[in-house]
Structure 1
Amino acid sequence: MKIQVPQGATEVRGAVRIQPEESVYLLSFVTSEQAAEAITEDLHPDYPLATKGPSSSSLSGDGFEHLGLTPPQELKSVRTTSACPPCVGDSRRRHVQGIEIHIGEVTDHRVRVYLAAY
């Protein structure tokens, strides 16, 4: 994904989920709201972060659960968007077709960022 984990981020976890059609790359960490929004903007999202209810349509499936985390699709009031690096000419991520971005509140000043790329 070529994501720079913010300085001061905690609970950093990542994995590659090997699937028959394509691999899914997972990355999660806890950081400040400002850092999460800066990462989102750097990914050139398809649309602004929006609060959604729980959804089962995540690429990550149970991958985050395997990392010991509540999957983003099970969170309440998670903000979600997606990015298509090839669509916006992001050459840093030319080997990634799409990225899901989920941001869930941990405390008043910290959020958990979930990234799933394929």
Structure 2
Amino acid sequence: MTACSGADADGARASDERWPRWDESAGVAEVVAFMNVAVPEGATEVEGAVQINPQEDIFLLSFVTDEEKAEDIAEDLRSEEPLRVRKGDSAEGERFGHLGLSEPQTLKEVRWAGVCPPCVSDGRRSKVQWIDIYVETLKAGRARVYLQAF
């Protein structure tokens, strides 16, 4: 029988863990697999990371693509609401800062949608409880897509 405060296989104490922390071995491939999304061909500035938390890990993905492909990704998530303008809010954590990006919820005129895949019967994403998508319009028909899931 083991206790919550017992030592793990490496002899470290469980209470010594720091939360949240970043999984340095996880990147774009792990995030894409978890979210079951495809990074569009020709996308640039593709970044991904996984934040380890005691209850649920947070998966982050960002890239720049053309605006039409960004809209297609949002539509594929099957949100009950379309992307809508979301005025800049205060940052809830510094997650995307880990990727060297601004927090999307702080950007002016960013468009957002959220979806609960199990709630919309999206069996492709049965392990995902929630996905936020933010689309930031850039110049020349390009857009930065931010995806956050747990």
TM-score of the alignment, normalized to the shorter chain, above 0.5: yes
- Give 1:13 deviation, angstroms: 0.2
Return 5+ residue gaps in structure 2 as ranges: 1-34
**Equivalent residues of 1:46, 1:84 under 8 A apart:** no
**Equivalent residues of 1:101, 1:115 under 8 A apart:** yes
- Give 1:83 deviation, angstroms: 1.0
Partner of 1:66: 98
Equivalent pairs, count: 116
Match 2:83 to one of 41, 49, 55: 49
Q: Please say which structure displays the higher CA radius of gyration.
A: 2
Match 2:73 to one of 12, 20, 39: 39
Q: What is the TM-score of this pair, normalised by structure 2?
A: 0.74
Q: What is the TM-score of this pair, normalised by structure 1?
A: 0.93
Matches within 5 A, 1:1-118: 1-56=35-90, 61-118=93-150
SS at structure 1 position matched to 2:102: coil
- Using CA pairs under 8 Å that are at least 6 residues apart, name the structure with larger relative contact order, 1 or 2: 1
Distance 1:70 1:41 in 2: 24
**Equivalent residues of 2:91, 2:103 under 8 A apart:** no
Deviations 1:11-58 (A, max 9, x none): 000000111221010000000110001011110013111111112375
Deviations 1:45-96 (A, max 9, x none): 13111111112375xx311111101110121100001011101111111000
Structure-2 change in CA distance of 1:52 and 1:26 (3 Å): same
Identity over aligned pairs, percent: 52
Distance 2:106 2:119 in 1: 29
Amino acid at match of 2:48: G
Distance 2:80 2:97 in 1: 26
